[in-house]
Each structure stands twice: as C-alpha cells, then as structure tokens.
Amino acid sequence: MAVIKFGTVIELQKNKGNMPDEIYKSALKIVERLDFHYGADRDLTDADGGYCLVVTTVQDVEFVNQHYINTASGRHEWAEIIKVKGSSPCVTAMFLQNNEHGIVVYFLNYGIVPRIILDEIERAEHE
C-alpha cells in the first residue's frame, strides 16, 4: 500500500476500506473539524487546515520524510496510541507546519514509528 493522503471527509470516505475502523473514526473527527473551520473545497497543500497521512511500511515513512514532514524530528505536538481490534496498536502523531496548518500521521504498523515518538508515549504512560 502507498501513503494515503486525505484532508476532507469526502477524501477520507474514498479510503475507508484502506484502514482499520478505529483509524477511520479517529481521522473522521479530524477532517470534520478541518472541513468546518477551513472549508471542504480548500487546497490541501497550500491552504490553512492541513491533512492526514496513513503509512504502513518503512518505505511509506521514508516517502513522508522526504516529501511532507520529518517524522523523526521530535517536532510533533502530540502522539497517542490507537488500539485496533484484532491487530497490533497503531500510533498517530500531529505535526504543526505553522499556526494554521498541521499534518496528522497515522502509523498503522507499530514497528515503523520513529523512536522519538515511542519514547514520548512511553514516558507519558509512566507518569
């Protein structure tokens, strides 16, 4: 699977079968807010708001790091684990590009999550 990119409810709905239900529900909350505040017809790359990326392989993460955001930079605003029924947990992290543009990355494979994100999650669990 290649990197999935979406920033609106309509784009997410087109990709519903390409991700676990728990990820879809999480992403739906985000894109509904983006559509409400920034418009469903905005240019995802240049306009305010942002978008989501779904990655499943090391190659997907490398592509994201080269073309969108360095996921291992430690510059994420937050990260959390999403438990997926019948599967290993997934991780999501949000990276702000500026005050009005963010990228949310869903890592569908726990093994591809950058160590810096996992370290933060583990620290938070122990506090």
The backbone torsions φ and ψ at residue 42, rounded to the nearest 5 degrees and listed phi first, read -75, 160
Q: Above pLDDT 90, what percent of the chain? A: 80
How far are the Cα atoms of 36, 46, 47, 68, 109 from residue 33, in angstroms, in the given order? Answer: 5, 18, 15, 21, 26
Could you read off the pLDDT of 42-77 as tens digits, one per residue?
A: 888 777 889 999 999 999 999 999 999 999 999 999
Using alpha carbons, select from 87, 123, 80 the residue that is nearest to residue 104.
80
pLDDT at 1: 64
Q: Does the pLDDT at position 127 exceed 90?
A: no
Nearest to 38 by CA among 101, 95, 106: 101
pLDDT value at position 58? 96
Q: Which residues, at least 6 apart from 34, have a Cβ–Cβ distance to it below 8 Å?
A: 7, 8, 49, 50, 51
The amino acid at 113: V
What is the per-residue pLDDT for 25?
A: 97
Residues 115-126 have pLDDT tens digits of 999 999 988 777
At 14, list the tokens: 């087109």
